[in-house]
Amino acid sequence: MSAFAALGLSPRLSKAAAELGWVEPTPIQLAAIPPALAGRDLLATAATGSGKTGAYAFATLQRIDDIARPRPRLPRVLVLVPTRELAAQVGDAMRQVEGFLNVPAKLLVLYGGVSINPQLMALRGGADVVVATPGRLLDVVDHHALDLSGLHTLVLDEADRLLDGAFADELARVLALLPARRQNLLFSATFPPAVDALAQQLLHDPVRVDVRDQVAAVATVTERAIEVDVARRTPLLAHLVVQEGWSRVLVFVATRYACEHVADKLRRAGLAAAAFHGDASQGARTQVLADFKAGKLRVLVATDLGARGIDIVQLPVVVNHDLPRSTVDYVHRIGRTARAGAAGLAVSFVSAATEAHFRLIEKRQGRRVPREQVAGFEPKELASPASATGGVKGRRPSKKDKLRAGS
């Protein structure tokens, strides 16, 4: 008996796991698949890149495999994700699995940034599985193109992100549309109070799974914190890319303007770089991401919103050019590297003005990252002991934070 069959997967889906390259279940798959197959509600905390998409894809698709498909089809499974890129990624993963079902499922992916008309046309005749961002799902419902009354499983992927900013209001509207009796599978890389509150609202007697420590023991992220003056961050970045031979680098910045500005400076320094943010069209974003994955681009400069859901196999380096606003964002950023057990490097640029902020991120992470300096880029300003105190900003965002969140 295969390791996946031992979890309760059917012979067809056990074969799917093997053919899709899953030799052994990951910790999140070991813990999540059996209760999900049993119809239990699930609260799972696992880092990005831990195999959670496979966990809920196998479980949810097996549960609908033997269900008679009504005409028109009503969605049985709804997977909500925060971004277009993650929606496309999850859709691709679930399509690979559904091809092994006894009766192939009709799966549709819905996200904004593209015309809604082809999505409305595709929904004629219904669907078995819908993967969607909350905003586009509500648009489709407003067009009377989707009936969610037959839903039996809701999956919230990156639940902590779905509770950010405007997503929280959209999520509440979506939940109000769903039948009260259903299975709920909630996955989150972090567990802030908002996720806890959502879990208490949604879940009935859930199985709680936390495999962060197990994944951390397998996946190795080396964290570095380099002291540098604000004006010297981009020249230092260009220097490190070349001198340390980084083949592909994902660079995080705070705003759309910084995204374009840093990418332009890197191109002038002779590096193949591009910007990736919410202002770009979906076609442009798809092309840039494809070029980065194919190795045509060496550096991708992104905002937090732009980079949500990016899944790049063997991404060796992530750089925090601008520090993230919160510990939650820090976890998601560095989780883009060291995926599926591979090693990775996360570099943070720390200036005198941001030392206090980074110390609070360290405190909430429960670890200290040694500071270092790079020859030729030593900072002229260093944080004094008195100034290196403060905190990660509270839950109420400032106007500047709201602008950043929209980037």
- 258 touches 252 (CB < 8 A): no
pLDDT for residue 306 is more than 90: no
Integer Cα distance of 134 and 82 in angstroms? 7
Q: Which residues pair with 188 in a beta bridge?
A: 45
Range of weakest confidence among 31-35, 103-107, 344-348, 395-399: 395-399
pLDDT of residue 318: 94
Please give the C-alpha separations between residue 214 and each of 196, 341, 378, in angstroms, as whole numbers: 21, 11, 37
Token pair, residue 87, equals 């929606």
Instruction: List pLDDT tens digits, range 92-124.
Output: 889 989 888 888 889 999 999 889 999 999 999
Helix (H) or strand (E) holding 318: strand 317-320
Give the confidence band of 75 by pLDDT, cuts at 50, 70, 90. very high
Maximum separation of any 2 CA atoms in the chain, in Å: 70
pLDDT of residue 69: 67
- Residue ranges and CATH numbers for the domains of the chain are 5-211 (3.40.50.300), 219-405 (3.40.50.300)
pLDDT of residue 405: 42
Angle at 160 between CA 38 and CA 230, to 5 degrees: 150
Instruction: List pLDDT tens digits, range 127-160.
Output: 999 999 999 999 999 999 999 999 999 999 988 8
Give the confidence band of 161 by pLDDT, cuts at 50, 70, 90. confident
Helix (H) or strand (E) holding 36: helix 27-37
Q: Phi/psi of residue 264, each to 5°? A: -65, -45
Average pLDDT, the chain: 86
- 407 touches 306 (CB < 8 A): yes
Give the confidence band of 125 by pLDDT, cuts at 50, 70, 90. confident
Integer Cα distance of 14 and 165 in angstroms? 39
Integer Cα distance of 242 and 224 in angstroms? 17
If you average pLDDT over each of 164-168, 208-212, 367-371, which comes out highest?
Answer: 367-371
pLDDT for residue 53 is more than 50: yes
pLDDT of residue 406: 43
Instruction: List pLDDT tens digits, range 240-251.
Output: 999 999 999 999
Give 14's contacts (C-beta < 8 A, 6+ positions apart). 2, 4, 5
- 330 touches 361 (CB < 8 A): yes
Integer Cα distance of 79 and 32 in angstroms? 16
Range of weakest confidence among 128-132, 148-152, 208-212, 352-356: 208-212
Integer Cα distance of 253 and 184 in angstroms? 34
pLDDT for residue 393 is more than 60: no
Q: Write the DSSP symbol of residue 177.
A: T
Q: Write the DSSP symbol of residue 326.
A: S
| Nearest to 71, CA basis, from 178, 147, 143 | 147
pLDDT of residue 166: 67
Q: Which residues pair with 299 in a beta bridge?
A: 249, 273
Instruction: List pLDDT tens digits, range 311-346.
Output: 676 788 999 999 998 887 888 788 778 665 567 899
Integer Cα distance of 301 and 226 in angstroms? 18
Integer Cα distance of 371 and 364 in angstroms? 17
Token pair, residue 407, equals 């980037």
pLDDT of residue 386: 58
Q: At what angle do helices 11-19 and 84-98 cross, to 10 degrees?
A: 120
Integer Cα distance of 379 and 229 in angstroms? 5
Q: Phi/psi of residue 45, each to 5°? A: -110, 115
pLDDT of residue 153: 96
